[in-house]
Amino acid sequence: MCKRKGALFDHSKTKFALTGAHVATPCQSCHIGNKYAGTVSTCEGCHTPDYQKTSTPNHAAAGFPKDCIVCHTTTQWKGAKFDHTAMTKFPLTGAHVQTQCSLCHVNGVYKGTPQTCDGCHLPDYQKRPPPTTPPPASPKTARSATTRHSGRAPSSTTRP
Ligand code: HEC
Ligand code: HEC
Ligand code: HEC
Ligand code: HEC
Ligand code: HEC
């Protein structure tokens, strides 16, 4: 049934044109149990298992977006490209080139990522120990370290 229907059916009349590898994909691979209406049309809706299996590179560990089309086409998984400089307003330079996506795009959020240095590095600045930090191991120091990591200024009790 599907074959005959496929010969006559113009899939580009749906919101999901068949391109690349999808052209030769059997109808039933996407329309499981001959269900047509309401077929999921996002890449991740069908390819999340492929994403999870990746090792070179490990997509989950790198925090890649789940919108495969940002880097892939529908032709093949190999040969993907992501050029942050060309595709966004924030070129990756220096140490940022090797920085994991997910350290800047926390929780997989890409839109509205801060672009100013202090938007991301203010916590580093605040975490820096004051010059007079006493040696570690005293309960007092442990407490002040916690305070620093919470992003607040070190309490005045740690100052001489
Ligand atoms: C790679 C996956 C994929 C393949 C292969 C595929 N389809 Fe689809 N198809 C979809 C998606 C996704 C939609 C939903 C598009 C939308 O929301 O409008 C869809 C929608 C449809 C619809 C409209 C459903 C409705 O009621 O809105 C029909 C009919 C259909 N496909 C038939 C076929 C036939 C026949 C084949 C084989 C020649 C085929 N499809 C192959 C993914 C696929
Ligand atoms: C409705 C399900 C569905 C959707 C939506 C869908 N795909 Fe597919 N795709 C398939 C199936 C089924 C195959 C056949 C091979 C397979 O099982 O992985 C396939 C094959 C592929 C292949 C070839 C894989 C290989 O091993 O050669 C690529 C690349 C691909 N899809 C990319 C995408 C991208 C990018 C999107 C989003 C724009 C997308 N697909 C959306 C179901 C889907
Ligand atoms: C930020 C860019 C980016 C995004 C987004 C992305 N990929 Fe990739 N992907 C890559 C790169 C780069 C490669 C390596 C390509 C190569 O080796 O030629 C790759 C390779 C792969 C491979 C083959 C390597 C392996 O270890 O199996 C698969 C499968 C794959 N991606 C699936 C996906 C799927 C599924 C999605 C979406 C759910 C996705 N990718 C989203 C960049 C991306
Ligand atoms: C050093 C921090 C940093 C790293 C690392 C980084 N990005 Fe970004 N990214 C940004 C900033 C800043 C923007 C600009 C956001 C904007 O234009 O609103 C951005 C924008 C983006 C956008 C466009 C978002 C949108 O829709 O406007 C995508 C997609 C993206 N990055 C993906 C990635 C991927 C994939 C990686 C890893 C390969 C990565 N980024 C690594 C900081 C980073
Ligand atoms: C979207 C967040 C983001 C923005 C914006 C950003 N950075 Fe970064 N930067 C990071 C992350 C995440 C790292 C890697 C983790 C770390 O070392 O803190 C990093 C690393 C660095 C490093 C290396 C630090 C080290 O310890 O090795 C330097 C230097 C740096 N950034 C400078 C800057 C400067 C200068 C700007 C402004 C032009 C800037 N960054 C903007 C997130 C950002």
Tell if the pTM clears 0.85, that is, is over it.
no
Query: Is the Cα dihedral 152, 153, 154, 156 positive or negative?
Result: negative
Compute the distance from residue 75 Cα to the ligand 2 centre, in Å. Answer: 8
Does residue 6 line the site of ligand 1, with CB under 6 A? yes
What is the Cα–Cα distance from 130 to 120, expressed in whole angstroms? 20
What is the Cα–Cα distance from 88 to 74, expressed in whole angstroms? 22
Contact between 51 and 59 under an 8 Å Cβ cutoff? The reply is yes
- For 83, counting Cβ atoms within 10 Å of its Cβ (0-12 exposed, 13-18 middle, 19+ buried), the class is exposed
Ligand 2 pocket, residues with Cβ under 6 angstroms:
21-22, 25, 29-30, 39-41, 43, 45-47, 68-69, 72, 74-77
What is the Cα–Cα distance from 60 to 105, expressed in whole angstroms? 13
Model pLDDT, residue 33? 95
Please, what is the Cα angle at 27 between 64 and 75, to 5 degrees? 40
Ligand 5 pocket, residues with Cβ under 6 angstroms:
95-96, 99, 103-104, 113-115, 117, 119-121, 124
Model pLDDT, residue 95? 96
The residue written with tokens 């890649």 in the block is: 64
Q: What is the pLDDT of residues 124-134, one digit of tens each?
A: 767 766 665 44
Ligand 3 pocket, residues with Cβ under 6 angstroms:
43-44, 47-48, 50-51, 54-57, 59, 64-66, 68, 70-72, 77-80, 82
Tell me the ligand closest to 23's alpha carbon: 1
Whether residue 148 has pLDDT greater than 90:
no
Model pLDDT, residue 81? 81
Please, what is the Cα angle at 103 between 97 and 106, to 5 degrees? 135
**Domains of the chain, residue spans:** 2-98, 119-154
Q: What is the pLDDT of residues 56-109, one digit of tens each?
A: 888 888 788 899 998 999 999 998 988 888 878 899 999 999 898 889 988 777
